[in-house]
């Protein structure tokens, strides 16, 4: 479970999984903005991290060495849909087998699968600490 705690600065939030801390922030109407990544950047980061890990694990299982690579993720939010645009960049040209392995691992990564399903957000429960 992730917990979010509002910090003193406008829009600054501390996120915790019980072990690690991350700061998130945004800038609106001249307030906030310098303490951490914006919420959508955190979402993009989660997908990019999962894609990298999934590609590494798939290559390891297949006994394939991949050239060094980077994953880029951006979100295109429109009224009718949200699209995640993913790019894989390799330091050297991968073979067709390496490219296919990386593409399949990216497509089937856990976070990609989660984001590909309909999302339901339950109503917030209000509690007094």
Q: Is residue 127 part of a domain?
A: no
Q: Are residues 44 and 106 in the same domain?
A: yes
d(CA 125, CA 86): 35
Q: Are residues 79 and 102 in the same domain?
A: yes
Show the CA angle centred on residue 44, arms to residues 109 and 81, nearest 5°: 90
Q: Are residues 60 and 111 in the same domain?
A: yes
Considering its fold, how many domains does the chain have in total?
2
Q: Are residues 48 and 78 in the same domain?
A: yes
Yes or no: say if 105 and 52 are a contact pair by the CB < 8 Å rule.
no
Say how many C-beta atoms besides its own lie within 10 A of residue 109's C-beta: 23
Domain harbouring 111, CATH code: 3.30.300.20
Q: Are residues 50 and 12 in the same domain?
A: no
- pLDDT for the residue 31: 83
Q: Are residues 21 and 62 in the same domain?
A: no
pLDDT, one tens digit per residue, over 16-27 is 999 999 999 998
pTM: 0.88
- Determine the structural domain holding residue 72 and report its residue range: 39-115
Q: Are residues 103 and 77 in the same domain?
A: yes
- pLDDT for the residue 4: 95
Is the pLDDT assigned to residue 28 strictly greater than 80? yes
Q: Are residues 89 and 26 in the same domain?
A: no
Q: Is residue 91 part of a domain?
A: yes
Is the pLDDT assigned to residue 57 strictly greater than 90? yes
């Amino acid at each position: 479970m992730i917990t979010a705690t509002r910090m003193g600065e406008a829009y600054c939030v501390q996120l915790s999984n019980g072990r690690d801390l991350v700061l998130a922030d945004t800038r609106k109407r001249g307030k906030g903005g310098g303490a951490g990544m914006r919420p959508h950047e955190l979402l993009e980061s989660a997908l990019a991290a999962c894609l990298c890990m999934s590609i590494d694990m798939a290559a390891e299982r297949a006994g394939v060495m991949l050239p060094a690579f980077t994953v880029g993720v951006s979100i295109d939010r429109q009224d009718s849909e949200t699209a995640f645009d993913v790019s894989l960049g390799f330091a050297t040209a991968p073979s067709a087998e390496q490219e296919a392995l990386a593409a399949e691992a990216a497509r089937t990564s856990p976070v990609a699968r989660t984001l590909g399903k309909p999302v339901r957000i339950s109503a917030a429960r209000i509690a007094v600490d």
